[in-house]
Homo-oligomer: A and B are copies of this chain.
């Protein structure tokens, strides 16, 4: 199966633009989580691939739209000019739309149905859609935009982080497990794992915006400060923020105590979340 129309497919500019952002060197954390969660409950990598790739498309679409002049107005992403800087705003808006749509093409693909029950495929696609809608990722993005330049209380900041970033991570873990037929107690444990690592990821992101290396990050350091954006370090200080993130990662690994060594990739991903420098 084809995961995405080729770069040269008509109309070329939209497909080039989709490939440009999708292949810009992301860390592929979301697909890794889908697969690691599936493997933790006895699923296999191969059958999950279309769904896993779909989550990277979802993530990439949110980045393209967040970077637009009307939103964060960012020029640089992963060390390269942002999508609209290369292809213009119109194509960037449509490329984001098309990646989101392509994600649902993959999430509902017949290949999945061959090896997974259609009812589980639907549940996983529904889970993903709810996580990234107006009561999920998009809701977090809206509150983030509305909060710029205003004093933000800790509860609002946590809302932004959990919704804008955490929900997609959690949904990746849950859908990998759902697609592999996880039992309810396993699913509940993985849900808590996903929630903890999601929040930890964003706290580390805030920290790296202050302490990170621009070359490693591939984006401007200090952009949150420039934009007068509320972050964990700005509310709680760098040290307390790092403690909070490390605590969340420990908790996330504790959630996996009833899982055997097939959950080791999930444990490693959790550790990477807090140790990463980019």
A189 on the B face (CB < 8 A): no
Is there contact, CB below 8 Å, between A71 and B93?
Answer: yes
A5-24 at interface with B (beta carbon < 8 Å):
5, 9-11, 13-15, 18
A131-146 at interface with B (beta carbon < 8 Å):
132-135, 138-139, 141-143, 145-146
Collect the chain B residues with CB atoms within 8 Å of residue A125's CB. Answer: 104, 108, 122, 125
Binds B, one of A112-120, A201-209, A232-240, A252-260: A112-120
Question: Whole-angstrom distance from the CB of A244 to the nearest CB of chain B?
Answer: 24
Question: Whole-angstrom distance from the CB of A171 to the nearest CB of chain B?
Answer: 12
Q: Which residues of A contact B (CB under 8 A)?
A: 5, 9-11, 13-15, 18, 61, 65, 68, 70-71, 88-91, 93-94, 96-98, 100-102, 104-105, 108-110, 113, 117-119, 121-123, 125-126, 129-130, 132-135, 138-139, 141-143, 145-146
Q: Select one of B65, B129, B135 contacting A93, CB under 8 A.
A: B65
Known contacts A11-B142, A104-B104; 18 further A-B pairs (Cβ under 8 A)? A9-B134, A13-B146, A14-B134, A14-B138, A15-B134, A61-B97, A65-B93, A68-B93, A70-B88, A71-B93, A91-B142, A91-B145, A94-B142, A98-B138, A105-B133, A108-B126, A118-B122, A121-B122
Known contacts A70-B88, A101-B134: does B142 contact A14 (CB below 8 Å)? yes
Collect the chain B residues with CB atoms within 8 Å of residue A135's CB. Answer: 5, 9
Question: Whole-angstrom distance from the CB of A162 to the nearest CB of chain B?
Answer: 13
Question: Whole-angstrom distance from the CB of A215 to the nearest CB of chain B?
Answer: 30
Collect the chain B residues with CB atoms within 8 Å of residue A18's CB. Answer: 134
Known contacts A88-B70, A122-B113, A143-B11: does B130 contact A105 (CB below 8 Å)? yes
